Structure 1
Amino acid sequence: MKSNWDGVMPAVFTWLKESKSGALEIDFDTTQKQAAGILKTKGKGGSRMSGLVGSGTLGENSYLSNTQRLSLLKSLSEVAKEYNVPLISGASAETKEELAKIIEGLATVGVDTVMVMPPKTKEVPSEKEMYDYYALSEATATEMGITVMPYNNPDAAGYHSLSTDLLLRLSELPKVTALKISTIDVSIIETLMLENKDLKVLAGVDTVTVHAGLAGACGGITGVGCIFPKASVTMQEYVSNGEWAKANKISQALNSISYLDAQPLLLEYLKLAMGIHHNDVAGGLRTYGKQLTKQQIDDVHARYILAKERLEVLDLVT
């Protein structure tokens, strides 16, 4: 499955349930149903989500075992195939050899594109070490018949952020089909596009969808779009058509909840908002992550209600 990367793609939640012993386990059926519900939703212009991101930050990725992760992605690959979109998932490792093994495993369960995070090392890698790390991931992807997407998240990765020079070099590798840039500083995107106008760049933070489009991004990966898919797809339609005022109106309506996507507890916050949206607050609070305080729960609820009320006026709630 290939993508031209134009459009928006949901980073879906991994829904959990309590086992007979009381421990949390993956609820594959609900996870699949929610992913399908998002992918079938159309924007006002008739388009849909153009990909499916599984087992990412919002999918409890850092808390899952390798076996859990692969089982989850195999189940999501069925949904991706049904809606004819590529399945995308992330990978990171301490060494390039470890990363190559992870990519091989992801390819065997139906992942079409791997978002490759910088190496998880304590010391700052050199530019050469960083390039070699990504080059081996690209070579492995070639062998496995899939593609890779270097994932730059300087706000979260600190010294592991990728320089624009390195990103441009990586973009020239044959199986690197796009770059993901997760930052509120969209000037990084514009700098890349000025160097190569043919680049495919995806934004990774919901708060900057419109500004990223203005800077040249062809689309984005969304968390908020899992909750309000019609709004997210319609906003991207307007961005793609250069209808900036209409796109910005939706962005403003989403502001209260998009804010949560840029917070350290984005998994816990947005998963709860998803639970509220589907009248499943208890399910929205089931996470391997941190437990929210009453104040945090009340804040998420208030932000969700505000966004929903604004979107209802625009006929963008499904």
Structure 2
Amino acid sequence: MASINWSGIFPAMLTPFDEDGKIDFAMLSINIEAQIAAGIHGIILAGSLGEASVLTPGEKFEILTHALQVVAGRIPVLLNITENTTADAIAFAQQAEKLGADGLMVLPPMRYRGDDREVVSWFRSIAQHTKLPILVYNNPVDYATYISLDMFDELLQEPNIQAVKESTRDLTNITRLKNRFGDRLKILAGVDTIFLESLALGADGVVGGLVDAFPRETFAIFDYVKKGEVDKAVAIYRWFMPLLELDIHPKLVQYIKLAAAKEGLSTPFTRAPRLPLVGEEEVRVNKVIDDALALRPQL
């Protein structure tokens, strides 16, 4: 079984498009290289921020293949699973493994809200049909499915279920998970606006959004926390917070793409039904980004 060191920063990568809605692979390469240069520890492709809902399975595999060529073994490359049926999810996982993915992030079933038994069966069935390490995405706020500690008890019977993207918004859950499972379940903080607090409480790493636009600042906060220099981390974090709040909005894709475009790390284009920002919202979001850039800390 492949292994991933679930420590560090794992950007939920944007999927850049050109003006015609085609995937801009050259821009994806630029962002991947910027992430690696900043010191990040792995990338996650075709998640919510990567606009999984408007990508075909074929496009997701094209993105994976391209990213693997760019990364060339330097960091782990994970692909996100957001299928509707267990059979499709298994087939997707097996194709990702065949193409060379290093791991998978798996969401609960998307269109059907299963009960606890059904959700556990979903994750375990996928895990039993691939050797790839699995990161379970626990986000009851956005996806209406809460994966409880008792459910993780069952999930961890599968050795390749190794980590959780902890997006419950409840910081006490990190301590509950650590008390119950110790190092058997690695914890990646999944909400930008509490990622420093999550690290301070023992989260092993971060699945980030604004890291797409600001990899160096994200890495610096992580690095300072791990070195015990929390004051230095907090100083950058306070500057970062207005930007991080762009991650907890339904239009996070448009917002973060706009920020990344200003940094030369993405295009601003999304696929419909997402539309470009207009009016007061466009002015307000641009001001948040521009104000932050004007006061950017020296690293």
TM-score normalised by length of structure 1: 0.87
Moved over 6 A (4+): none
> Where do 1:1-318 residues align within 5 Å?
2-18=3-19, 23-41=20-38, 48-82=39-73, 84-122=74-112, 124-142=113-131, 146-158=132-144, 160-198=145-183, 199-278=185-264, 283-288=267-272, 289-311=274-296, 314-316=297-299
**Aligned mates of 1:68, 1:229 — CA distance in 2:** 25
Letter in 2 for 1:127: D
How many angstroms does 1:76 deviate by?
Answer: 0.8
SS of the residue corresponding to residue 183 of structure 1 reads coil
Report the secondary structure of 2:182's partner residue: coil
Task: Tell whether the 8 Å contact from 1:209 to 1:220 is kept in structure 2 after alignment.
Answer: yes
Following superposition, the deviation at residue 172 of structure 1 comes to: 4.0
| Pairwise CA distance, 1:292 | 1.5
SS at match of 1:231: helix
The runs of 5 or more residues in structure 1 that have no matched partner are 42-47
Inter-partner Cα distance in structure 2 for 1:108 and 1:32: 22
Question: Cα distance, 1:277 vs. partner?
Answer: 2.2
How far has the Cα of 1:223 moved from its partner?
A: 1.4
Give the % identical residues: 26
Aligned pairs, how many?
Answer: 296
Q: 1:53 to 1:279 in 2, by over 3 A?
A: closer
Q: Is the CA contact 2:54–2:271 (under 8 Å) kept in the aligned structure 1?
A: no
Per the TM alignment, residue 167 of structure 1 is displaced from its structure 2 partner at its CA by 2.2
RMSD, matched Cα: 1.9
Structure 2, unaligned runs of 5 or more: none
Alpha carbons of structure 1 residues 63 and 259: separation in structure 2 relative to 1, 3 Å: same
Residue 110 of structure 1 and its aligned partner are, at CA, apart by: 2.5
Structure 2 length normalisation: TM-score? 0.92
Secondary structure at the counterpart of residue 74 of structure 1? helix
CA drift of 1:61 comes to 1.3
